[in-house]
Chains A and B, each alone.
Chain A
Amino acid sequence: MSEIHRPEARVEPIDSTIEPVGGSATSKTKKVEEASLLADAWRSLRRNPWFIVSAVLLVLFLGMALFPQLFTNNDPRECLLGRSRQSPSAEHWFGTDVQGCDYYSRVIYGARNSIAVGFIVAIGTFIIAVVLGLVAGYFGSWVDAVISRITDMVFAVPYILGALVFLNVLESRGVREVAFVLIIFMWPTMTRLMRGSVISVVNSEFVLAARALGAGPITIMRRHILPNSLGPVIGYATVFTGIIIGAEATLTFLGVGLQLPAISWGLQLSDAQPFLQTVPHLLLFPVIFVGLTVFAFMTMGDAIRDALDPKSKK
């Protein structure tokens, strides 16, 4: 077997020099390390104004959750009945609640429980979803059938209904209990997403190539499938955190969430309900905070999802 025969001399390998695809040549060659997909994602995130807005908001809210004393000097538990239901003033920015506590500091301190529930549930469902989705999507056939049917069954129960039933029978309900029940009823959506994401990767040729090499399922899942299927799930998990914060507020408002003396936005909403017409600011402030937090997480989630999805690049 000699060379390939063609009428004329052989073609120069015209693509043997490296030409970066897109971007200026100099900046790319200088930062070779930075050219990974994550770096690309970061680059496009930095240019997304919605990402900036949501990041600023999130930093603010996380700061409130971790170090509320940075935002207020008042003790939220120092309540004097004598100053009950005052309107917002220079001394009490958000006014005072029924018990005469400083409402501003209570709203600030409320961030911790709400966000904690959001994070715990998001992380919990994320782990469940990644494991189950990966196994179901990779192995397919009966494994997939069993996992998917269980997922569907849990999916059929509205989380509000499930949480109402279960939380009602619990004597004392703290962050842990509420988070646990929410995880139990809210994992199916993300699991389905993960499963779909895995299935779209499983049949790609680089996975075939790895299988042809003789790589085992664990190796393939860890090395190839996981990194390529996490993108949409990470984006959704961020959006999901926002949804959970809303859900916690809902449950607490309905009286099956956190209990006094805990401080949370849901409890504040619940307590403010009877005074909707007389003292509307008691409802307004926690609603604004819940709204902004959910908004920040959702916007962040969308931005992350777009940045991690190579197809969304314009």
Chain B
Amino acid sequence: MPEPVLSYKDIRVSFATEFGDVDAVKGVSFDVMPGEVVAVVGESGSGKSVTSSTAMGLLPENATVNGEVLLEGKSVLTMSTAELRRLRGSDISMVFQEPMTALNPVLRVSDQLVEALQVHDVAFGGEALEKSIALLERVGIPDARTKIKQYPHQFSGGQRQRIVIAMAIACGPKVIIADEPTTALDVTVQAEILDLLRELKDELNTGILLITHNMGVVADMADRVVVMLNGEVVETGPVATILGHPEHPYTRRLLAAMPLLREAGDPSLESERVVVTERGGVGDSSSSRTATGVPDGRSNGRAANGVAGTDSDAPPALEAKDVALEYKFRRKATRVVHDLNFTVQPGEIMGLVGESGSGKSTVAKAVLGLLDVAEGELRVRGSNMPALPAKEKKALKREIGVVFQDPAASLDPRFPIGDIITEPMVVHKEGDKNSRMARARELLDAVRLPSSVLNRYPHELSGGQRQRISIARALTLNPTLLIADEPTSALDVSVQAAVLDLFSELQQQYGFACLFVSHDLAVVDALAHKVLVMQKGRTVEQGTTDQVLRHAKESYTQQLLAAAPVPNPEVQARRRTERQRLLAALA
């Protein structure tokens, strides 16, 4: 039986705050063996990052730590500051979530790598530089000798994370703590980084403590899994057991909440196809729409229009014709979206998928009228919105609701919830105080929040609750079109699942059309009728969800699909080899 490289024994951490002591971690114990990947999973606030930070001695000053952290048998918590500093980076190192901020932007990559080596007396001067170049080559940076002289911003996000990993392995650590190392990256890049970590671990026999919330990443990487909830370990065991036969209800819930990208032949697809064809003749949505109890007669009229809009000869809810979009900076325009064409019919959800920089959010901005359209037409219910005079444009904006990604940022922190929800009515001068509040109550009910939150402020609510408020605000004026820009990517999986459920329910109830922007193929698969895949501002592929996600024609779409990890170790291993074959075939 080999000695564990890192072992946590009954770790307890509490933070002294304004509101008294908060116990973040309540007695956590587990080991990491050499060459083993232990994944700590849990949602935000479960204490997973706090636990791992105790091994680095990097907790803020108001934290009290009890218990024992052993790194190769030496207790970390009793070490002096100087000893700890020697330890950090040499025996134990860290890979952070955000490669953008983990590197110093004003220093060359060479300086940062050489510094890491020199601080720990590994190598000096020219030797250190040579070693740094070798490290960069090891982590797969092409042309390392010239590139090492560049600054961090000259590298892409994935390459930056590779550099961070190079720094982490510079001094041959016994254990690497990887705190959400791929959360900020695109799926294809994520797959590459995970491949790299796996190779390095086998080569260096390093233990990896992987902190993540993504069960797919766990299935891809981990040997053992530790599931944490509210500062306690609820379940621990080999990855196949935990993901295959979870014991604890919380683990089951987490797994169930994970949206799945269904492969062709998935039984659940059959039932859906029936539903989709039924939806073609949307006869019954009129009853659901009027049944929502729209407050005044005017809105009722609109609701009726909305229903008429589902007829085949009605204009589409949103139509883009040869749209090109550009950002202007100092009178120089950079075109970011080219020749975009799509149609969203009333009551239809279109998923807009792509990696960062593909221009998907830019499209959403343009539809919201926050960005001028450089070329082409953007028709909202048949009228070309960018060309309308200001007054009509404002009137047309009533028809568009929006839900943004970050629920913390998209609600004004100084507004009580009631005012937030009724703001669209205030802006469009609709209703009086009482009817507005009545509408707010109705919407809170629709998003399943108690009406007592009317007087609360956003910071008193959790992330999921805030996103529900966002959705409620978007629905205030009964829009025919909803723009959702990554509405769930800032949320924990189980919260995401609840919000997505709610979203599709509301979509049926209110019958709005939706442009759903997301990088998560599984989420799009669960919600959308149609999918448009974008890459670098151009359309790669579009069609029904089934066509695009299960019978992809374009190699880019296939790569995207292959890179999305699934929470099943065996399936994931199979998918991994498939992906590598696909990439090899492309090369």
**Contact, CB under 8 Å: B462 / A15:** yes
On whether A214 and B501 interact (CB within 8 A), knowing A1-B529, A6-B256, A208-B370, the answer reads no
Whether, in the assembled complex, B2 has its beta carbon less than 8 Å from a beta carbon of chain A, the answer is: no
**Contact, CB under 8 Å: B262 / A213:** no
Q: Which one of B406, B449, B504 contacts A1 once the chains associate, using CB atoms below 8 Å? A: B504
In the complex, what residues of B have CB within 8 A of residue A24's CB?
19
- CA distance in complex: A7, B255 (Å): 9
**Contact, CB under 8 Å: A212 / B465:** no
**Contact, CB under 8 Å: A1 / B465:** no
Whether, in the assembled complex, B450 has its beta carbon less than 8 Å from a beta carbon of chain A, the answer is: yes
Whether, in the assembled complex, A158 has its beta carbon less than 8 Å from a beta carbon of chain B, the answer is: no
**Contact, CB under 8 Å: A211 / B370:** yes
In the complex, what residues of B have CB within 8 A of residue A3's CB?
501, 504-505
Whether, in the assembled complex, A78 has its beta carbon less than 8 Å from a beta carbon of chain B, the answer is: no
Per-position contact with B for A20-53: 1 when CB-CB < 8 Å, else 0? 1111100010001101110000001000000000
Whether, in the assembled complex, B587 has its beta carbon less than 8 Å from a beta carbon of chain A, the answer is: no
**Contact, CB under 8 Å: B253 / A11:** yes
Q: Which one of A37, A215, A314 contacts B17 once the chains associate, using CB atoms below 8 Å? A: A314
Per-position contact with B for A193-228: 1 when CB-CB < 8 Å, else 0? 000000000001110111111110001000110011
In the complex, what residues of B have CB within 8 A of residue A28's CB?
460
Whether, in the assembled complex, B402 has its beta carbon less than 8 Å from a beta carbon of chain A, the answer is: yes
Name the residue on A nearest B276 (C-beta).
Answer: A1
- CA distance in complex: A16, B499 (Å): 11
User: Interface centre among A20, A213, A228, by most B CB within 10 Å?
Assistant: A213
**Contact, CB under 8 Å: B257 / A11:** yes
**Contact, CB under 8 Å: B256 / A11:** yes
**Contact, CB under 8 Å: A13 / B502:** yes
Whether, in the assembled complex, B412 has its beta carbon less than 8 Å from a beta carbon of chain A, the answer is: yes
Whether, in the assembled complex, A18 has its beta carbon less than 8 Å from a beta carbon of chain B, the answer is: yes
- CA distance in complex: A181, B90 (Å): 62
**Contact, CB under 8 Å: A18 / B400:** no
In the complex, what residues of B have CB within 8 A of residue A9's CB?
256
Binds A, one of B92-100, B218-226, B267-275, B295-303: B267-275
On whether A36 and B495 interact (CB within 8 A), knowing A1-B507, A210-B427, A314-B17, the answer reads no
Per-position contact with A for B398-436: 1 when CB-CB < 8 Å, else 0? 101010111001111111100000011001100000000
Shortest distance from the beta carbon of A215 to any chain B beta carbon, whole Å: 4
Q: Which one of B19, B368, B462 contacts A23 once the chains associate, using CB atoms below 8 Å? A: B19
**Contact, CB under 8 Å: A227 / B508:** no
- For chain A, the bracket of interface size reads 35 or more
**Contact, CB under 8 Å: A21 / B460:** yes
Whether, in the assembled complex, B284 has its beta carbon less than 8 Å from a beta carbon of chain A, the answer is: no
**Contact, CB under 8 Å: B428 / A4:** no
Whether, in the assembled complex, A5 has its beta carbon less than 8 Å from a beta carbon of chain B, the answer is: yes
Q: Which one of B370, B409, B453, B455 contacts A206 once the chains associate, using CB atoms below 8 Å? A: B409
User: Interface centre among B252, B262, B460, B464, by most A CB within 10 Å?
Assistant: B460
In the complex, what residues of A have CB within 8 A of residue B252's CB?
8
Whether, in the assembled complex, B81 has its beta carbon less than 8 Å from a beta carbon of chain A, the answer is: no
- CA distance in complex: A124, B413 (Å): 28
In the complex, what residues of B have CB within 8 A of residue A310's CB?
413, 459
In the complex, what residues of A have CB within 8 A of residue B65's CB?
none
**Contact, CB under 8 Å: A11 / B497:** yes
- For chain B, the bracket of interface size reads 35 or more
| Main SS class of interface, A | loop
In the complex, what residues of A have CB within 8 A of residue B349's CB?
1
Q: Which one of A37, A214, A314 contacts B393 once the chains associate, using CB atoms below 8 Å? A: A214
Shortest distance from the beta carbon of B367 to any chain A beta carbon, whole Å: 9
Q: Which one of A4, A18, A36 contacts B465 once the chains associate, using CB atoms below 8 Å? A: A18
Whether, in the assembled complex, B308 has its beta carbon less than 8 Å from a beta carbon of chain A, the answer is: no
User: Interface centre among B260, B395, B414, by most A CB within 10 Å?
Assistant: B414
- CA distance in complex: A160, B497 (Å): 63
Whether, in the assembled complex, B526 has its beta carbon less than 8 Å from a beta carbon of chain A, the answer is: yes
Q: Which one of B260, B428, B456 contacts A214 once the chains associate, using CB atoms below 8 Å? A: B428
**Contact, CB under 8 Å: B498 / A15:** yes
- CA distance in complex: A4, B516 (Å): 15
Whether, in the assembled complex, B374 has its beta carbon less than 8 Å from a beta carbon of chain A, the answer is: no
**Contact, CB under 8 Å: A205 / B393:** no
Whether, in the assembled complex, B397 has its beta carbon less than 8 Å from a beta carbon of chain A, the answer is: yes
Whether, in the assembled complex, A313 has its beta carbon less than 8 Å from a beta carbon of chain B, the answer is: yes
**Contact, CB under 8 Å: B406 / A205:** yes
Whether, in the assembled complex, B259 has its beta carbon less than 8 Å from a beta carbon of chain A, the answer is: yes
**Contact, CB under 8 Å: B413 / A209:** no
**Contact, CB under 8 Å: B404 / A205:** yes
**Contact, CB under 8 Å: A1 / B275:** yes
Q: Which one of B411, B427, B448, B455 contacts A16 once the chains associate, using CB atoms below 8 Å? A: B448
Name the residue on B nearest A219 (C-beta).
Answer: B427
Per-position contact with A for B444-475: 1 when CB-CB < 8 Å, else 0? 00001110110111011110110000000100
On whether A14 and B370 interact (CB within 8 A), knowing A2-B271, A5-B272, A37-B414, the answer reads no
Q: Which one of B272, B427, B460, B483 contacts A20 once the chains associate, using CB atoms below 8 Å? A: B460
Name the residue on B nearest A203 (C-beta).
Answer: B409
In the complex, what residues of B have CB within 8 A of residue A1's CB?
272, 275-276, 279, 349, 504, 507-508, 527, 529
Shortest distance from the beta carbon of A3 to any chain B beta carbon, whole Å: 7
Shortest distance from the beta carbon of B207 to any chain A beta carbon, whole Å: 32
Shortest distance from the beta carbon of B424 to any chain A beta carbon, whole Å: 5
User: Interface centre among B413, B455, B495, by most A CB within 10 Å?
Assistant: B413
User: Interface centre among A18, A212, A314, by most B CB within 10 Å?
Assistant: A212
Whether, in the assembled complex, A171 has its beta carbon less than 8 Å from a beta carbon of chain B, the answer is: no
- CA distance in complex: A116, B481 (Å): 57
Whether, in the assembled complex, B394 has its beta carbon less than 8 Å from a beta carbon of chain A, the answer is: yes
**Contact, CB under 8 Å: B464 / A15:** yes
Q: Which one of A15, A228, A313 contacts B18 once the chains associate, using CB atoms below 8 Å? A: A313
Q: B97-152: which have CB < 8 Å to A?
A: none
Q: B511-557: which have CB < 8 Å to A?
A: 526-527, 529
Name the residue on A nearest B474 (C-beta).
Answer: A209
**Contact, CB under 8 Å: A212 / B369:** yes
**Contact, CB under 8 Å: B427 / A204:** no
**Contact, CB under 8 Å: A44 / B18:** yes
Whether, in the assembled complex, B70 has its beta carbon less than 8 Å from a beta carbon of chain A, the answer is: no
Shortest distance from the beta carbon of B205 to any chain A beta carbon, whole Å: 36
Some 28 contacts from A to B, beta carbons below 8 A apart, are A1-B275, A1-B276, A2-B275, A6-B497, A6-B526, A7-B255, A8-B252, A10-B497, A10-B501, A14-B494, A15-B462, A16-B449, A17-B450, A18-B456, A23-B19, A32-B455, A204-B409, A205-B406, A208-B404, A209-B473, A212-B369, A212-B397, A213-B402, A215-B423, A224-B412, A227-B412, A310-B413, A310-B459
Residues of B within 8 A of A (CB): 17-19, 62, 252-253, 255-260, 262, 268, 271-272, 275-276, 279, 349, 368-370, 393-395, 397-398, 400, 402, 404-406, 409-416, 423-424, 427-428, 448-450, 452-453, 455-457, 459-462, 464-465, 473, 483, 494-495, 497-498, 500-502, 504-505, 507-508, 526-527, 529
Q: Closest 9 interchain pairs by CB? A: A214-B397, A205-B410, A8-B256, A214-B394, A212-B368, A13-B498, A5-B268, A205-B409, A4-B526
Beyond A3-B501, A214-B395, A214-B397, 19 extra complex contacts between A and B, CB < 8 Å: A1-B279, A1-B504, A2-B271, A4-B527, A5-B262, A8-B252, A13-B498, A19-B462, A32-B456, A33-B455, A36-B414, A206-B410, A206-B411, A208-B404, A214-B398, A214-B427, A223-B415, A227-B414, A228-B412
